[in-house]
Amino acid sequence: MSPAKTLVQYAALPYRVVDGHAEVLLVTSRETKRWILPKGRPEKRLKAHEVAAAEAFEEAGIVGTVVKDAFCHFSSTKRLKNGHELPCTIKVYLLKVKKQVDDWPEKGQRERRWFTPGEAAMTVTEAGLIKTLLDFGAHWV
C-alpha cells in the first residue's frame, strides 16, 4: 500500500492593530464549528498568497493586504466528508485587514470573531495553529 499523499492548504492569518495591540480573526469550520483560520486548496490560476486572501473573503468577509511569503507552515489533518483524515500541510500567510463586509459568500455557514493572539491560541485545538498564533503574538509584545 502506498503512503497517503499529503495535501497542501493555504491559510490566511487575518489581523488588525487596535491601540498598538494585534488582534486576529478566526472563523468556525462548517462541520464541527471548531475555530480555525480561513484556508483553501491550491488553485491553478492563483498564487498561494492569493488563495489565502480569496479564502479570507469567502469564509470571513474580509479584505486586506496579504504578504506574499508564508509566515510559517504546520502539519495538520484534513477531515474529509467521508470521515477519512489525510495529512495536510498548512502554509500561513499574514493578511492585514483593511475592511470587513457585512455580507460574504459563506456568511450563513460560519461565525467570525476577533481575538487577541493569546485568546485565539486558547480557543483553537490544533497544536500547529496554537504555536502559529503564539509566534504571531510574540511579534507584538
pLDDT in tens, 6-65: 799 999 999 999 999 999 999 999 888 999 999 999 999 999 999 999 999 999 999 999
Contact call for residues 128 and 74 (beta carbons, < 8 A):
yes
The pLDDT, as a whole number, for residue 31 is 82
pLDDT of residue 71: 97
Instruction: Please tell me the predicted confidence (pLDDT) of residue 4.
Output: 57
Alpha-carbon span 117 to 61, nearest angstrom: 20
Residue 2: pLDDT band (50, 70, 90) is very low
> What single DSSP character describes residue 109?
T
CB 10 within 8 Å of CB 49 = yes
pLDDT of amino acid 3: 55
Helices (H), 27-124: 48-60, 117-123
- Cell numbers standing for residue 104: 460574504
For the stretch 85-138, pLDDT in tens is: 889 999 999 999 999 999 999 999 999 999 999 999 999 999 999 999 999 999
Domain annotation for the chain: domains and CATH numbers:
7-138 (3.90.79.10)
The DSSP output letter for 82 is: T
Give the pLDDT confidence score for residue 83 in this predicted structure.
79
Give the pLDDT band of residue 84 (cuts 50, 70, 90): confident
Longest dimension (CA), the chain: 55
Decide the pairing of beta strands 21-28 and 112-115. antiparallel
Phi first, then psi: what are they for 65, rounded to 5°?
A: -105, 125
The structure's pTM equals 0.92
CA 2 to CA 129: how far, in whole Å?
28
Q: What share of the chain is helix, strand, coil (3-state, %, to 5)?
A: 25, 40, 35
More confident residue, 2 or 68: 68
CA 20 from chain center: how many Å? 22
